Amino acid sequence: MRPLAFSCKAAKASNGRVRWHRCGDSVAYYTNHYQGPPASTFRSHLRKSASTSSKTKHPPNFSFLSTLSFVYISQYSQDTVYFAYSYPYTYTMMRNHVTALTAEHPNTVKTSTLCMSVLGNELPLLSISDFASSSPKQYAVVSGRVHPGETPASWMMLGLIDFLVSAHPIAVQLRRRFVFKVIPMLNPDGVINGNLRCNMNGFDMNRCWSHPVPNLTPPVYCAKKLLKMCQQTNTPHNPVRIFCDFHAHRCSKRIFFFHFFQLLCVFPNIVVDQRIFLYMDAIILWVLRSGCFPYFYLNAVHNLYSQIVVSIIQQR
Ligand SMILES: [Zn+2]
C-alpha cells in the first residue's frame, strides 16, 4: 500500500527523468470507525425495485471506511506533489494509444464506439483480427477498468493490445483464429473524476452485469449487448470463446484467473476450449518477460464471469 508520488520540482530538475515513484514511510492502512454508504448501492436499488413485488425487508448493508496514513518529506520547498494509489493510466493515455494503433495497424485494428458514458465520454471498441483472412473466426471479448481505481488493469490491457497487433507468432495465430473485441476502458467517467469503483451515478458497475440499466450503467449494458451479438453472430458450435475482464487487487499480487469451469456441472452444454487459457497464459508470460510494467496483476473475478456467462446463456 505504499503510495506513489509525483514531484513537479523533481521532474523539472531532472528533465522528466524523475516521474511517479513509490514513496512514504510509516505506511498504515486500516478500517476506521466512520460509517460509509451501503456496500452496494446498486443492490439497494434492485431491492427497492423488488420490494414492490415482494414484502421481504432487507436490512441496510453498511460498511466502514478505511484510512491510509503515511509520512512523506518533500525534497523541495514550495513544491507541488501529486499522490496516487497505483501508477496512473488516464483516459487521455488510452485515447492516444487507440489513435496511434489505428494509424499504425490499419489492416489489423478497427475502431468504433461502444457507447457514450453518463457524462458523454466516448468508449472506444477495438476489433483486432487478421481481416485479410477469410477463414472462419471465433470471438474473444476483453474489457478492463470497470473499476476506475484499478490502473494496473489498464497497463495489462496496454500490454495485451500491443501483443495482439504484434508480429509475434502466437499473435499472428490468434489473429487468424479470433476476432478480439477489446473495450479498454469501461468506466471513463470514473477514471476522469478519480473514482475508485463507481460510475457517476454511484453504481459499482461490476455488480450490475445481471441487470444492467441503459441510462444508469450504459457501458455494462452495451458490453453485454456486444457479447450477445457476438454469440448470435457465430454458429452454436462457434460461440464466444472467452470473456476476460481485467481488474487489479489491493492485496493479491502477481497474476491470477478466476474462471467458470465450475459452471460446467450446471451447464454441461457450455463449450469450453481450454486452449484459449493456454493462449492467455502465453500472452501473460510475454507481458511478464517484456518487463515494461512497473507493477501489475490480473484478476478476472469468477463471480462476475459466471454471472455474465449465465446471463448470456439465458438470453440465447
Ligand atoms: Zn475490480
Q: What is residue 174's predicted lDDT score, i.e. its pLDDT?
A: 87
What letter does residue 35 receive in the DSSP assignment? E
How far is the centre of ligand 1, averaged over its atoms, from the C-alpha of 11 (Å)? 31
Based on its alpha-carbon atoms, the radius of gyration of the chain, rounded to whole angstroms, reads: 21
Count other Cβ atoms within 10 Å, centred on residue 4.
20
How far is the centre of ligand 1, averaged over its atoms, from the C-alpha of 293 (Å)? 19
d(CA 177, CA 282): 16
d(CA 201, CA 119): 10
How far is the centre of ligand 1, averaged over its atoms, from the C-alpha of 310 (Å)? 20
Coil vs helix vs strand at 95: helix
Long-range contact set of residues 172-177: C-beta below 8 Å, sequence gap at least 24: 172/130, 174/279, 175/108, 175/128, 175/129, 175/130, 175/133, 176/130, 176/133, 176/135, 176/137, 177/135, 177/137, 177/138
Question: What does the buried/exposed string (b/e) look like for 257-292 if buried means 16 or more CB atoms within 10 Å of the residue's CB?
Answer: ebbbeebeeeeeeeeeeeebbebbebbbebbeeeee
How far is the centre of ligand 1, averaged over its atoms, from the C-alpha of 301 (Å)? 8
Largest CA-CA distance found in the chain, in angstroms, rounded: 65
How far is the centre of ligand 1, averaged over its atoms, from the C-alpha of 20 (Å)? 22
Tens of pLDDT, residue by residue, the chain (316 residues): 889 999 999 999 999 898 999 999 999 989 999 887 665 554 555 455 444 444 445 555 667 888 999 999 999 999 999 999 889 999 999 999 999 999 999 999 999 999 999 999 999 999 999 999 888 888 888 999 999 999 989 998 998 899 899 998 888 988 998 899 999 999 999 999 999 999 999 999 998 888 899 999 999 999 999 988 887 776 555 567 778 888 887 766 666 666 554 444 444 444 445 555 555 555 555 555 544 433 333 333 333 443 444 344 343 3
Q: What is residue 253's predicted lDDT score, i.e. its pLDDT?
A: 65
Q: What is residue 63's predicted lDDT score, i.e. its pLDDT?
A: 75
How far is the centre of ligand 1, averaged over its atoms, from the C-alpha of 105 (Å)? 30
How far is the centre of ligand 1, averaged over its atoms, from the C-alpha of 140 (Å)? 20
d(CA 76, CA 311): 55
Among the listed residues 130, 113, 131, the one whose alpha carbon sits nearest the alpha carbon of residue 122? 113
CA 288 to chain centre: 18
How far is the centre of ligand 1, averaged over its atoms, from the C-alpha of 52 (Å)? 31
Name the residue ranges covered by the structural domains of the chain.
4-84, 91-315
How far is the centre of ligand 1, averaged over its atoms, from the C-alpha of 53 (Å)? 32
Say if residue 74 is exposed, middle or buried (CB neighbours under 10 Å; 0-12, 13-18, 19+).
middle
d(CA 8, CA 1): 22
- Alpha-carbon distance values, 169 to 127, 158, 163, 237, 282 (Å): 19, 19, 10, 26, 11
The domain over range 91-315 is classified in CATH as 3.40.630.10: yes
| 242 strand-pairing partners | 140
Q: What is residue 287's predicted lDDT score, i.e. its pLDDT?
A: 52
